[in-house]
Structure 1
């Protein structure tokens, strides 16, 4: 069945469906529209950011009528991993869902994700799966004596995790997390954190994003910078790891791999996000294709190529801080800045937007990032 209104959809006449209507869906829609692609999002939040630039199906993710409308699209993608399995089952065989349910089942569960990374030949930090009280015995020793206990599902932006350094702390942390299945990850003495995205079409065509350097604060990404400061050959190794994951997992769409970069130059995969990623937002304003355009192209089978900024650029997240507001006047006056707000209600600790900044050289970029960090709480 063809999508309603296809005659007016643009020169390509394509419609992209998205499960989720948050800021990532908003930015995917903004990248799709200039390509002559209409976007339809299924999202239960009446104030969803994507409602401003896409057709908003206001309904639960498992709503039969909403899923029927998504099934009329040319392809469906997503902006978050934890899609209800019922929604995926209802779309199965009716419309291409990219990435598919098998890949999502791996990436949404930390234990399965790490096991699948190792099966693809990609190194990770030492880890131990904790599913019962018996698994706590000797677990810390197996991961090096200190670790981070994380829920296997649903935790993000520093939530659902705790640092532990003694068996007593581990037992208490597991109890605090509800005794749900968890992964105990060994603490890694890394030099920095980097990320890299890969896109793959249904036909197997691959394209890569740039290597990006990331800094977190309180478990939430604070800044991302391109180009990353890394030893020679790091980006090539990250691309090979991302390629291995994309091919072993049968990726259709885009995924991002976050890495620990060790002092000696080795890379350990930390997490995989089967979608555009916060660290890649800087590709919106550095010139060239953005990560959002790359995901749209990969999902719809449009021509695809590597994407990377043409100039040094960076991103600083805007996270809600009670009683503090960014100095927008000075931010707007700073050369090279591009403000991206998500039209979301304020909540302390919530991602409300980001500011990208572009500069002619690395030195100037670092100065501008430092100034942005002064202006953004």
Structure 2
């Protein structure tokens, strides 16, 4: 440990910062978050500096911490530049700049030896000509920056659709990704500390609804050996990128078992929330440990575990909490956020003694959550 009572600074104060703080507290670590939102979820369990991310006084408070991390990648690069040389920032600005820009991210993934879907950068209108043919005739146009949870993207299958999508996205820099025939989506997190020690989270199988993560299951249903291949890719990326902290990789698993990296997040990830329950270390504790330079070990639930996201609905309907709480193995985690359609409001983790029981309970749980 860096001190008798370490302090961890976090850029961002949303639900990920809240859960990072909740994991840090039992370790004797105090948490400070810099977040402009007065209703930031992390305010309930951490010191909350209500100020812009580039606020000099707020950044000075973070600079007084033992280390600083981030809960999302859309932090202004100016904020990290202001902290450089004053306090360890993990992951650092170079890695953040790479992971927040989809084209740079994919180029860096390939340079590290990872495979991705075919892609073409679209910086201006002339880049649209022949782009679809280069990625196989059908694809997804995504903004290079800022898009998440299905926002900032559109499926296209013709030249006219492609141009319309680019216009609708505001003619901003984009990447056109080819559609790939994947069997399942899986994710895996890797943590690496300043000493170069590496540890991994579980291989998690993910399903989406309306572009937003709906369910996660561990262990995944991927073929034998998939987890080992995912670790090899994650280890290579973590080393090539000089990771200090935690990184989550989302993969497409193809019918033959091959893995393509879809996206990378330089932080804890929604798909890793199930590590809070089922025994074992959580992804949040893993990030805290990696950022502070503490010893690392692999983390994964000790029992079959699943997660279902709770998302705001158009009609305002919420889960049947009485029935959810009565379901064996269910445990809710709410973020104290005002309901809004499409907004992540919480999640429910589900633990069972075996995979079959977990799958049965997951069907019941999904029926209780709109």
User: TM-score range with shorter-chain normalisation?
Assistant: over 0.9
Q: Secondary structure at the match of 1:150?
A: strand
1:257 aligns with 2:249: yes
Structure 2: distance between partners of 1:303 and 1:33: 17
Structure 1: distance between partners of 2:347 and 2:25: 21
Query: Which of 135, 140, 145 is 2:137 aligned to?
Result: 145
* Uncovered stretches (5+) of structure 1, i.e. residues with no partner: 1-9
Q: Secondary structure at the match of 1:163?
A: strand
Any residues of structure 2 matched to 1:312-323 within 5 Å, and which?
Answer: 312-321=304-313, 322-323=315-316
Query: Which of 113, 118, 121 is 1:121 aligned to?
Result: 113
Query: Which of 186, 204, 210 is 2:202 aligned to?
Result: 210
Structure 1: distance between partners of 2:278 and 2:205: 15
Query: Which residue of 1 is the match for residue 287 of structure 2?
Result: 295
Offset at 1:302? 1.3
Q: Secondary structure at the match of 2:366?
A: helix
> Is the contact between residue 125 and residue 186 of structure 1 (CA under 8 Å) also seen in structure 2?
yes
Alignment TM-score, normalising by the size of structure 1:
0.97
Structure 2: distance between partners of 1:72 and 1:149: 42
Root mean square deviation, CA, Å: 1.1
> Is the contact between residue 320 and residue 352 of structure 1 (CA under 8 Å) also seen in structure 2?
yes
Query: Which of 331, 336, 354 is 1:338 aligned to?
Result: 331
Query: Which residue of 2 is the match for residue 374 of structure 1?
Result: 367
Query: Which residue of 2 is the match for residue 15 of structure 1?
Result: 7
Q: Secondary structure at the match of 1:298?
A: helix
Offset at 1:11? 8.5
Offset at 1:323? 2.8
Q: Secondary structure at the match of 2:34?
A: strand
Q: Secondary structure at the match of 1:188?
A: coil
Number of residue pairs matched? Answer: 369
Query: Which of 41, 52, 59 is 2:44 aligned to?
Result: 52
Query: Which residue of 1 is the match for residue 150 of structure 2?
Result: 158
Query: Which residue of 2 is the match for residue 3 of structure 1?
Result: none
> Is the contact between residue 11 and residue 36 of structure 1 (CA under 8 Å) also seen in structure 2?
no
1:25 aligns with 2:17: yes
* Uncovered stretches (5+) of structure 2, i.e. residues with no partner: none
Structure 2: distance between partners of 1:375 and 1:155: 29
Any residues of structure 2 matched to 1:69-80 within 5 Å, and which?
Answer: 69-80=61-72
Q: Secondary structure at the match of 2:248?
A: strand
Q: Secondary structure at the match of 2:278?
A: coil
Structure 1: distance between partners of 2:4 and 2:20: 17
Q: Secondary structure at the match of 2:339?
A: coil
Offset at 1:12? 3.5
Deviations 1:37-76 (A, max 9, x none): 0000000011100000000011111111000000000000
> Is the contact between residue 318 and residue 353 of structure 1 (CA under 8 Å) also seen in structure 2?
yes
Q: Secondary structure at the match of 2:117?
A: coil
Query: Which residue of 2 is the match for residue 4 of structure 1?
Result: none
Change (3 A) 1:11 1:71: closer
Deviations 1:238-257 (A, max 9, x none): 00000111000000000000
> Is the contact between residue 260 and residue 268 of structure 1 (CA under 8 Å) also seen in structure 2?
yes
Q: Secondary structure at the match of 1:365?
A: helix
Deviations 1:97-134 (A, max 9, x none): 00000000110000000000000000000000001111
1:62 aligns with 2:54: yes
Structure 2: distance between partners of 1:171 and 1:365: 45
> Is the contact between residue 119 and residue 135 of structure 2 (CA under 8 Å) also seen in structure 1?
yes
Q: Secondary structure at the match of 2:235?
A: helix
> Is the contact between residue 139 and residue 177 of structure 2 (CA under 8 Å) also seen in structure 1?
yes
1:363 aligns with 2:356: yes
> Is the contact between residue 305 and residue 352 of structure 2 (CA under 8 Å) also seen in structure 1?
yes
Change (3 A) 1:32 1:310: same
Deviations 1:175-214 (A, max 9, x none): 1101100000000110000000000001111000010000
Query: Which residue of 2 is the match for residue 83 of structure 1?
Result: 75
